[in-house]
């Protein structure tokens, strides 16, 4: 039974990662053909960094992804805390509104944002694409942070205030460390979604500003260059390295965080007992 489970998991991961593995292998292929292997080469990587169109698209892609992820994470943290503090009925209402952009087809969101920007007489370009990416990233950040808020001890914030911390100190030194895994998850999810987005970017960008998905879509009409395979390989390895670093840091911080949580819980219970006795 255990062998079947392991085999099943192996087949799932093989199905998911086999296309990426093929892409990585053929990024080193001498031939442009994806059907024949004609020898090992690094020329596609060298040509990649000499292609101005791809480098420009890569620049805008990462710039928009980083900016939109940071801004969406900041807004998402504030929104998640506000939603968490709401009463049940308005909280459910706001959460249902938060689900709509996630369930909405990308083409509907893209066209809606395009019409909004045109109605506001904003010229389509870098700013509109950035605003669009922030808009569709915020709901994912909120949903990443809310579970961490619900897992947190409700008395920790009050305990910090009773121990002499100001509201701002309690927020930065108690709340933020507790929900930091959710913040990191939301940021990485927003960053990945921004890198991957095509439909919304296509409808909200203007001339002179294109991300990688738009450039690759244009190239697909005349055939994908092996340079795209090389670029995809570098991006995949970069994201993989980033995830490894984040996971190692989280696993390293977990014992210390658990100890702080236990101490905070004890302080919260102690102060709560004092309050009841008074």
- Reported as a single tens digit per residue, the pLDDT across 153-183 is 877 888 888 888 888 888 888 888 888 888 9
Q: Is residue 217 part of a domain?
A: yes
Q: Is residue 5 part of a domain?
A: no
Q: Is residue 2 part of a domain?
A: no
The CA distance from 36 to 226, in Å, is: 13
Name the CA dihedral angle for 109, 113, 116, 121, rounded to a multiple of 10 degrees.
-160
Task: Calculate mean pLDDT across residues 140-148.
Answer: 92
Q: Is residue 178 part of a domain?
A: yes
pLDDT at 136 over 90: yes
Please tell me whether residue 29 adopts helix, strand or coil conformation. strand
pLDDT at 68 over 80: yes
Total domain count for the chain? 1
Query: How confident is the model at residue 271, as a pLDDT?
Result: 40
Distances (CA, A) of 205 to 23, 48, 126, 131: 28, 24, 7, 10
Q: Count Cα atoms within 13 angstroms, Cβ side, for 49.
A: 5
Terminal C-alpha separation, the chain:
59
Q: Is residue 23 part of a domain?
A: no
CATH code of the domain in which 111 resides: 1.10.3720.10
Boundaries of domain holding 128: 42-277
Give strand pairing partners of 29. 40
Query: How confident is the model at residue 274, as a pLDDT?
Result: 40
Average pLDDT of the chain is 84
Q: Is residue 151 part of a domain?
A: yes
Within 10 angstroms of residue 221's Cβ, the number of other Cβ atoms is: 7
pTM of the prediction?
A: 0.80
Query: How confident is the model at residue 138, as a pLDDT?
Result: 94
Q: Is residue 88 part of a domain?
A: yes
Q: Is residue 201 part of a domain?
A: yes
Query: How confident is the model at residue 133, as a pLDDT?
Result: 95
């Amino acid at each position: 039974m255990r062998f079947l489970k392991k085999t099943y998991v192996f087949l799932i991961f093989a199905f998911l990662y086999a296309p990426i593995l093929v892409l990585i292998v053929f990024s080193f292929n001498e031939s442009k053909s994806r059907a024949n292997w004609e020898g090992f080469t690094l020329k596609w990587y060298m040509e990649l960094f000499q292609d101005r169109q791809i480098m420009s698209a890569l620049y805008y892609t990462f710039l928009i992804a980083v900016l939109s992820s940071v801004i969406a994470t900041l807004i998402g943290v504030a929104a998640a805390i506000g939603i968490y503090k709401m009463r049940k009925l308005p909280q459910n209402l706001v959460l249902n509104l938060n689900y709509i952009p996630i369930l909405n087809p990308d083409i509907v969101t893209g066209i809606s944002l395009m019409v909004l920007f045109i109605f506001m007489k904003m010229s389509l370009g870098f700013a509109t694409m950035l605003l669009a990416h922030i808009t569709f990233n915020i709901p994912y950040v909120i949903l990443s942070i809310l579970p961490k808020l619900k897992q947190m001890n409700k008395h920790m914030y009050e305990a910090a205030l009773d121990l002499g911390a100001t509201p701002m100190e309690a927020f930065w030194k108690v709340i933020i460390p507790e929900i930091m895994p959710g913040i990191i998850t939301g940021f990485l999810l927003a960053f990945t979604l921004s890198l991957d987005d095509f439909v919304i970017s296509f409808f909200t960008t203007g001339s002179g500003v294109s991300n990688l998905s738009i450039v690759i879509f244009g190239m697909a009409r005349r055939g994908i260059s092996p340079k795209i395979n090389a670029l995809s390989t570098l991006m995949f390895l970069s994201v993989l390295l980033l995830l490894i670093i984040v996971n190692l840091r989280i696993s390293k911080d977990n014992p210390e965080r658990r100890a702080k949580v236990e101490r905070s819980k004890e302080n919260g219970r102690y102060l709560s007992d004092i309050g009841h006795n008074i």
